[in-house]
Structure 1
Amino acid sequence: MSFSDTTAALNAGVAIIYQELHLVPEMTVAENIYLGQLPHKGGIVNRSLLNYEAGLQIKHLGMDIDPDTPLKYLSIGQWQMVEIAKALARNAKIIAFDEPTSSLSAREIDNLFRVIRELRKEGRVILYVSHRMEEIFALSDAITVFKDGRYVKTFTDMQQVDHDALVQAMVGRDIGDIYGWQPRSYGEEPAAS
Structure 2
Amino acid sequence: MPDTPVQVAVIVGSTRDGRFGPTVASWFVEHAAQRGDIAIDVVDLARTPLPAHITHRPDPAEAQALQAVSPRLAAADAFVVVTPEYNHSFPAPVKNAIDWHHSQWHAKPVGFVSYGGVSGGLRAVEHLRQVFAELHAVTVRDTVSFHGAVDKFDADGRPIDPMTTTAADKLLDQLLWWADALRSARAERPYVA
**Same fold by TM-score, threshold 0.5 exceeded?**
no
TM-score (norm 2): 0.31
Q: Which has the higher contact order (CA 8 A, sep 6+)?
A: 2
Higher Cα Rg: structure 1 or 2? Answer: 1
TM-score (norm 1): 0.31
